[in-house]
Amino acid sequence: MAKLFRAVIMGPPGSGKGTISERIAQRFGLTRLSSGDFIRENIAANTDAGVLAKTYIERGLLVPDHVMTRLLLPRLEEMTRHSWLMDGFPRTLAQAEALNSTCDLDLVISLNIPYETLKERLSDRWIHPASGRVYNMGFNPPHVQGRDDISGEPLIQQDDDKPEALVARLRHYKDVAKPIIDLYKSKGILHTFSGTETDRIWPYINSLLSTKIPSTSQTDTQCIPMP
């Protein structure tokens, strides 16, 4: 019976988590899970957790741990037969511990990208708010300027992608990510990639995953339901 593969991708805002997760999902056939997308789906569906999460996001805050775990862990329990890659969770040590008690992670990718690069990328990042699809006017522009490729709806720039908000976001990321990174380092599953260009980092991630991901893997149970 093939073993399943579970991985997490971490990095500061703009480090390329979304871009790289999309490539990994396509290349290795993993299901891509994104906490941001999952929250947006819950907001759109008006679930209790979605309504609650929205009140935090609107104030530019992280959604509290108990709301996040209530949203995400049941979703992971549905994924017992799939290999997956998670982007955006865990974002606090409490979330990492909750994930730990639900799942055995195989690998954690941490992206280490210089501040100047993050600043440039985010000042050029445009998103389609309803879906979370991300564009960059230089790196991956939309087919039609200012419009989402799939829906044709307008793209927006998020206030917290502006340089003045970025310093605080990065400081916050460093503070909360450090204990999570230390935890994964101590478990021996952390792999850190540094650089200024996704296209130069990608071959290293690709070759690491080629050695780690079983060819196909659909029937095993690694996630156990929370008590």
- Looking at the Cβ atoms of 14 and 90, the one nearer to ligand GDP is 14
CA distances from 82 to 3, 4, 32, 145 (A): 10, 7, 10, 37
69 binds, among ligand ATP, ligand GDP, none (CB under 5 to 8 A by kind): none
| Placement of tokens 């999902």 in the chain | 25
- Looking at the Cβ atoms of 80 and 131, the one nearer to ligand ATP is 131
Q: Is 198 in the site for ligand GDP (CB under 6 A)?
A: yes
91 annotated as belonging to a binding site for a ligand: yes
CB atoms within 10 A of CB 128: 20
Among 25, 43, 52, 62, binds ligand ATP (CB under 6 A): 62
- Looking at the Cβ atoms of 52 and 195, the one nearer to ligand GDP is 195
DSSP states of 110-177 as a string?
A: EEE--HHHHHHHHHTEEEETTTTEEEETTTB--SSTTB-TTT-PBPB--GGGSHHHHHHHHHHHHHHH
Among 4, 1, 189, smallest CA distance to 83 is for 4
Q: Residue 56: CB partners within 8 Å, gap ≥ 6?
A: 62, 63, 64, 67
125 binds, among ligand ATP, ligand GDP, none (CB under 5 to 8 A by kind): ligand GDP
How many Cα atoms sit within 13 Å of 137 on the Cβ side?
11
139 binds, among ligand GDP, ligand ATP, none (CB under 5 to 8 A by kind): ligand GDP
Residues 68-107 that bind ligand ATP (CB under 6 A): 68, 88-89, 91, 95
Q: Helix 48-57 and helix 65-77: axis angle, to 10°?
A: 140
- Looking at the Cβ atoms of 30 and 63, the one nearer to ligand ATP is 63
Residues 100-159 that bind ligand GDP (CB under 6 A): 121, 125, 134-136, 138-140
Q: Is 18 in the site for ligand GDP (CB under 6 A)?
A: yes
62 annotated as belonging to a binding site for a ligand: yes
**Shortest Cβ distance from residue 32 to ligand GDP (Å)?**
11
Residues 156-195 that bind ligand GDP (CB under 6 A): none
Among 137, 121, 80, 124, smallest CA distance to 103 is for 80
Q: Is 19 in the site for ligand ATP (CB under 6 A)?
A: no
